[in-house]
Structure 1
Amino acid sequence: MTVEPTPVTVFTGFLVGAGKTTLLISQLALLKQLPKNYKVAILKNEYGDIKIDSALATQSNGNLAGVTEMLNGCLCCVLTGQMRAAIIELQEKYHPDRILIETSGSAFPATISIQLRDLAKEFSGQASGQGIRLDGVVNVIDVENFTGYADTSKTAALQAQYTDLIVFNKWENVSERQFDIVWDRVNDLNTDTPKIKSINGSISLEAILGIDSKLGLALLEAPRHQGSHDHAGHGHDSDEHVSEIETLTVKFPKKDLDGKELTSFFNYIEIAPKDEIYRMKFVVRLPGSALPAASKSDSSDPRTYILNWAFGRYEFTLISEEAAPALLDDYLAGIGTVMVGRGDGRRFRKRLSSGILGDGVKVEL
């Protein structure tokens, strides 16, 4: 008996902070509308070597079957050969009804779609349950910052061009005129693709399920040599692509239980240069009373939080003990990544190691 292929939805968005993870998690919450036996598996791709976001997804919904994170590279170049194995593992382990892929912020969607096309052909007609089909590519646009990088990054423009649905995110934080400028810029890049606004980082479930990818169909019809050579016409140079960002790993040493060792770090996230630092992701364990004023609670017991910082805005998310990643066995205070522009890694390593994040903090490039 031939098993129906598993639909795959791909989320893209330039660099970090566009809102891909928030949108993906909101879709998991909406899955409660579907039967309880409808299961979703997630494949997350991230620069850096620390699994942080899995905890956010894991505690979000009972329809989530499992999460796999692919670190230290991008699916469309460095990790290109590993996506096949990851998808097969998700299918064999969880037997999902749908797979959601969140790409790194520098991913070229056409390249990933080509890989999915090849997998679809490889498993076509098999009864193993490993068959897949590309259901759609969703591009998340950070309206607050899009005009700042659309003209300087080939990747940002390509993500807006090679997609089946464009989601305008964070539009609530800008003026109507600013939004119109972004809308016009995106229309210059891609006139025909449907475009919608998110509501607090979320869109309807119907907008995601059943997109019926035009990009996927086009790539299925394209000759193999055309797709693999120029990636649907954009001349992908993997060296240029990989160097678009550099990632620093920051580790806070084990100290007291009151969280005071993070005071310097919390002061820094208030003033960190948003035009130089793209994103910070950390997992920290400390009392809620030790958090910055905007996030502080009355709790005096150590709890695990995930910090997401992007373009000067940040949020602490409390993680249940069951979902908390096992990253802090050796680091009581916290561990995480700081993402900066290409060529800035060594400079920021020196700056962040100078003591502005606190005593004894280790910064690795």
Structure 2
Amino acid sequence: MTVEPTPITVFTGFLGAGKTSLILSLLKQLPPKYKIAILKNEYGDVKIDSALATETNGNLAGVTEMLNGCLCCVLTGQMRAAVVEIQEKYHPDRILIETSGSAFPAAISIQLRELSKEFGIGSSGPGIRLDGVVNVIDVENFDGYADTSKTASLQAQFTDLIVFNKWEDVPGRQFETVWDKVNDLNTDTPKIKSNRGTIPWEAILGMDSKLSLDLLHQKEHYHDHSHNHAHDDSHTSEIETLTVRFPKTLLDGSELAAFFRYLTVAPKDEIYRMKFIIRLPASKLPLFELGSDEVQTYILNWAFGRYDFTPISNETAQALLDDSLAGVGTVMVGRGDGRMFRKRFSKGIVGIAEVELS
């Protein structure tokens, strides 16, 4: 009996473009017995998105996170081990790879093509195949980050499907401008608009990545390009990451109010993303002043001035948040801004937070 290789779909897109939300919306559309495993790559050292994914859908086989680096360069040697572990542990019907905001998709596609050939030679497992690469575009903020991130433009060029996300609330002219810019980068690739962060599950199935085939035919060219990219300062220097820990005694009173006020005014052209796990009474949350005083744990997600709080179960929270802490998370800023924001978070915004610069 022939065992079909496990299809892999790769999601790329700049920080805050909506990759995680798009993947979570896809999980909700799964047929009952279709199992998905997620390999997530993120800067920082806090496994926040695993909590969201784990509580989203019973069809999720498992989540593996590769932290503190970029999958296409710093962590390139670890992807093989991660894929093997996922297949042996979860036996999924499909693997979704969510890359970091500055990952170079061509390099990842080459790695997956090499792994597919390696696993196909004398392998007792099902093997893998790259089914497609999906690039998520944040229409509302594309003009800003495309100008500052070379990789954002490359992500739009090396993909099998482009998803225009967060377009509903922008003026029609702005959407047309972004569409034209993306079309100039990549004319032939199919493009669709999400519906409030959702696309049909069928849109990512059976793409049989033309990108991966093209890369295979032009392997020498792209191998040189991706190798240089992995050592290119412009890639590795785009992001600096702060790990922020809030002592249990901190998130109360004036310090808590000051932190939440900062969420509304934080500079979206300097801070790319904030993700936190925070434990506190609902009555302390912004816009929820009449909430219960019962302590609950929340995921705080901030991107480009927008933020939300998502409650998670106590069981999930215990695995992510130390009892000595009221909150922990990552703040991703532009290169050269890390020291400035370390000072702001440790002395200005919340006063006594413990802040590490990666």
Instruction: Give the TM-score normalised by the residue count of structure 1.
Output: 0.93
- The one-letter amino acid paired with 1:316 is F
Aligned residue number for residue 61 of structure 2: 65
What's the C-alpha RMSD, in Å, of the aligned pairs? 1.8
Aligned residue number for residue 7 of structure 1: 7
Secondary structure in structure 1 of the residue aligned to 2:147: coil
Instruction: Please point out which of 227, 249, 254 is paired with 1:255.
Output: 249
Aligned residue number for residue 291 of structure 2: 298
Aligned residue number for residue 185 of structure 2: 189
Instruction: Please point out which of 94, 98, 105 is paired with 2:101.
Output: 105
Deviation by residue 1:206-226 (Cα, 9 ceiling, x = unmatched):
101222210112223334x43
Aligned residue number for residue 26 of structure 1: 25
Aligned residue number for residue 226 of structure 2: 231
Does the CA-based 8 Å contact 1:77-1:238 persist in structure 2? no
1:123 and 2:119 matched:
yes
Task: Determine the C-alpha separation between the residues in 2 that align with 1:260 and 1:88.
Answer: 48
Does the CA-based 8 Å contact 1:50-1:337 persist in structure 2? yes
Instruction: Please point out which of 265, 268, 282 is paired with 1:271.
Output: 265
Instruction: Please point out which of 134, 137, 140 is paired with 2:136.
Output: 140
Aligned residue number for residue 177 of structure 1: 173
Aligned residue number for residue 317 of structure 1: 310
Distance 1:296 1:51, change over 3 A: farther
Distance 1:354 1:260, change over 3 A: closer
Does the CA-based 8 Å contact 2:229-2:235 persist in structure 1? no
Superposed displacement of residue 363, structure 1 = 1.2
Secondary structure in structure 2 of the residue aligned to 1:61: coil
- The one-letter amino acid paired with 1:252 is F
Task: Determine the C-alpha separation between the residues in 1 that align with 2:113 and 2:130.
Answer: 7
1:347 and 2:340 matched:
yes
Question: Structure 2: which 5+ residue stretches go unaligned?
Answer: none
Secondary structure in structure 1 of the residue aligned to 2:241: strand
Deviation by residue 1:104-144 (Cα, 9 ceiling, x = unmatched):
00000000000000000101154522510000000000001
Does the CA-based 8 Å contact 1:51-1:325 persist in structure 2? no
Deviation by residue 1:276-309 (Cα, 9 ceiling, x = unmatched):
111100000111111012x556222111100010
Deviation by residue 1:143-178 (Cα, 9 ceiling, x = unmatched):
011011223321011000000000000001200011
Question: Structure 1: which 5+ residue stretches go unaligned?
Answer: none
Superposed displacement of residue 356, structure 1 = 1.8
Query: Which piece of structure 1 moves more, 144-153 or 180-189?
Result: 144-153
Count of aligned positions: 357
Distance 1:261 1:180, change over 3 A: same
Deviation by residue 1:7-66 (Cα, 9 ceiling, x = unmatched):
00000001x1100000011011111xx1x3221100000000111110000011111000
Query: Which piece of structure 1 moves more, 121-130 or 266-275?
Result: 121-130
Secondary structure in structure 1 of the residue aligned to 2:192: strand
Percent pairwise identity: 73
Does the CA-based 8 Å contact 1:162-1:215 persist in structure 2? yes
Task: Determine the C-alpha separation between the residues in 2 that align with 1:201 and 1:91.
Answer: 28
Does the CA-based 8 Å contact 1:9-1:137 persist in structure 2? yes
